Amino acid sequence: MMSIRHTLLVAALISLAACGRKPAAAPTAATVVLVGPEAVTVTELSMLSTGPALSGTLVAERTAAIRAEVNGQVMAVLHEPGDRVGAGEALARIDDRAIVDAWLGARSGVTQAELAADIAKRELERAMKLSAVGAIADRDTENARRANLASQAQFEDAKARLAQAQKQKDATVVKAPYAGVVAERTVNAGDIVAPGAPLFTVVDPATMRLEANIPASQLGAVRRGAPVTFSVTGYPDRRFTGTISHIAPSADATTRQVRVIARIPNAGSGLVAGLFAEGRVSSMVREALTAPLAAVDLRGIRPVVARLKGGKVERVEVTLGARDDATERVEITAGVARGDTLLVGAALGITPGTPLKVSVPSDTAKR
């Protein structure tokens, strides 16, 4: 009887103890971090270009500083800065009255000298015929020969004077040496000019050149014909291209920089002289597996990327190759594969092992 009571008592105590315990908490799932599409990137094959940086100024390939060749008053100015002109098109006219008078005199002199030379030539021919039959003395024949030589020389001198007068007459019409744009006008109608006075500056905008400098230490990576890519002040969102046409044979003794000249096609005339340009010589161009520089953590001993794999973040050491500063991409030679998803920027700080999901923009989700 006592044994049964003892058993019931123990059972009751166990039941009471069980009723007093708190239920065990169920395990909770790890919190998923949500990031936007701007926080991730995908490794891909792309063209990688590397080479020394350069900076310099754009100048026109052809620039003509047109100056007066004759004295006189400017009668008319026919073009203003910014005007497009054709080769040989008149830019201004200088008073030619005195010059035309001199030209008429020179032309008259040629006519008289030509007539005198013709008479002297005929006299020589007649003298030589008479001398052949002994009709005149040798002295007379020699005099005729000398008179002919003098007349021919005077004729040539008269023609040279006419050519000079013609040149002076032509110079009273100031013309563009080639097709281009009037960049500057320094003369006005009514001005009195003398030979050498500046009148216009005409540039040919079809071809520009970039006069730039590169470090002497990187000269080995530059060659004639190498492509150049650069940006220009005033066109921040555009990239321009050209080719190296000249390399200076020596470096500047002070800056240790080497001057190079790149020829830049400018068919649309979008570039203008005087702009500052920065760019790079593309000494090497090849296809490689690349990622944005913002996807690589360079603070440690070895470069590391944060890769999203199986829905979780993992840290992966990578080996870097060439770097393209123009596109801000870097070659990855080991550690990741093509198509891997990497975190970018601030997302690099997410703890490894954290579940992560990339959100879809609302407008994309509605589609």
**346 and 320 co-located in one domain:** yes
Q: What's residue 163's pLDDT?
A: 92
Residues 272 and 292 in one domain: no
pLDDT higher than threshold 70 for residue 216: yes
Q: Which residue among 262, 280, 298 closes a domain? A: 280
Same domain for 274 and 208: yes
At residue 23, does pLDDT exceed 50? no
**Rounded distance between C-alpha atoms, residue 77 and residue 91, angstroms:** 6
Give the residue from 251, 280, 309 where a domain finishes.
Answer: 280
Q: Which CATH number does the domain housing residue 290 bear?
A: 2.40.420.20
Pairwise pLDDT comparison (304 vs 286), residue with the higher score:
304
Q: Residue 269 — pLDDT band, cuts 50, 70, 90?
A: low
Q: In the predicted model, what is the mean pLDDT of residues 273-280?
A: 83
Tell me whether residue 269 is in a domain: yes
Q: At 363, is the pLDDT very low, low, confident or very high (cuts 50, 70, 90)?
A: low
Average pLDDT over residues 18-25: 43
Residues 291 and 316 in one domain: yes
Query: For residue 231, is it within any domain?
Result: yes
Backbone angles phi, psi at 33, to 5 degrees: -85, 130
Can you give the pLDDT at residue 28? 43
pLDDT at 17: 44
Residue 225 and residue 157 share a domain: no
- Domain termination residue (choose one: 280, 305, 322): 280
Question: How do residues 94-119 score in pLDDT, each as one tens digit?
Answer: 999 988 989 999 999 999 999 999 99
Residue 276 shares a structural domain with residue 225:
yes
User: Is 199 part of any domain?
Assistant: no
- Domain for residue 19, yes or no? no
Please write the tens of the pLDDT for every residue from 47-106: 777 777 788 888 888 889 999 999 999 999 999 998 999 999 999 999 999 889 899 999
Q: Is pLDDT above 50 for 11?
A: no
What's the number of domains the chain is made of?
3
Nearest CA among 98, 102, 147, 144 for reference residue 124: 144
- CATH code for the domain in which residue 218 is found: 2.40.30.170
Mean pLDDT of the residues in the chain: 82
Is 128 inside any structural domain? yes
**Residue 156 belongs to what domain range?**
96-170
